[in-house]
Amino acid sequence: MNDSGSARFPARRLRRLRTTPALREMLAEVRLHRRDLIAPLFVRPGSGEKRPIASLPEQFQFSPDTAAQAAARLADLGIPAVLLFGIPAAKDPAGSGAWDPAGPVPQAIARIRRQAPGMVVIADVCLCEYTDHGHCGPLAVRPDGATDVDNDAALELLARTAVAYAGAGADVVAPSDMMDGRVGAIRQALDGEGLIHTAILAYAVKFASALYGPFRDAAGSAPQFGDRRTYQMDGRSPRQAALEVALDAAEGADMVMVKPAGAYLDVIQAVRAACDLPLAAYHVSGEYAMIMAAADRGWLDRRDAALEITTAIKRAGADLIITYFAESLGRWLE
């Protein structure tokens, strides 16, 4: 190249900082670690059960004993926490199986406590898996004639459920129902039972989403009529996220969550900027299933895609990431 060409070429070459793997690692600004991850587990009644979930490859419905074994494996990989979802033997209009002390979630909590004593156990608090209509609380008829969840009647039932899980030994209860006022009701109920050390991870920002389909298949929680748009957030109204977080924080939430994660990175970033509470984000079932389906067809590399999207969630501001890739990431991450 002649002198005039050399003069025009930029003196700063940013590729110099990407030359070797060691240099790239040293300069990485965002680091994903196994301690950032939470693994969802589905728990059903029984013993020795480990049923594959067709829409969630490599995920299972566990009985309490096999859930404890799975938690122990995750602990060995350095995954610090599990998030438990219950699948009851029977359902009713109120979802009474949710607070049954002999139900699958309390039984799993007790077994995990024995088999993986250092594991942080988080219990999802909702009624949709337990109601025969698939909504997140008891139903009532509104003045306009529409049938909808009775928000205030649901609060007592959600609080009973949280107390049952905390009493069984859960470190954290995580209300995912999106009823107004449920964090305050749960905090009051926990404190009233002397469970003052049980933390609340609020699904503060949970959007109505097409990406929940595989979860509803796994948990048997699809609504039998209508949808959940009267209580889950509208994805076109992201500014409401700050209000939801502020209300849950004022009611006593110890941590907050954004769900879904991958499709709402902008919301994660906005919540992180507005709130100092620990922030979790849920990389949901549909986001996982899409990667698994594409990888199965050879259209992308599963490992690279999972690492890229979870790192993006961390980069957006999440402290904790709930992901079905947790066990795989436990093997891939150093």
Q: What is the pLDDT of residue 3?
A: 52
Residue 208 placed within a domain: yes
pLDDT per residue as tens digits for the range 200-209: 999 999 999 9
Q: What is the pLDDT of residue 209?
A: 97
pLDDT per residue as tens digits for the range 170-200: 999 999 999 999 999 999 999 999 999 999 9
Residue 16 placed within a domain: no
CA distance 194 to 22: 51
Residue 3 placed within a domain: no
Give pTM, 2 decimals.
0.95
- CATH code at position 238: 3.20.20.70
Q: What is the pLDDT of residue 191?
A: 98
CA distance 26 to 12: 19
Residue 53 placed within a domain: yes
Peptide bond into 260 cis (omega under 30): yes
CA distance 60 to 22: 37
Residue 6 placed within a domain: no
Given 50, 91, 259, 314, the catalytic residue: 259
Q: What is the pLDDT of residue 273?
A: 97
Catalytic status, residue 50: no
Q: What is the pLDDT of residue 152?
A: 97
Which domain range does residue 105 map to? Answer: 31-332
Residue 238 placed within a domain: yes
Q: Which residues contact 36 (CB under 8 A, 6 or more apart)?
A: 314, 318, 319, 320, 321
Q: What is the pLDDT of residue 22?
A: 96
Low pLDDT (below 70) residues in the chain: 1-7
Catalytic status, residue 314: no
Residue 221 placed within a domain: yes
Number of domains present in the structure of the chain: 1
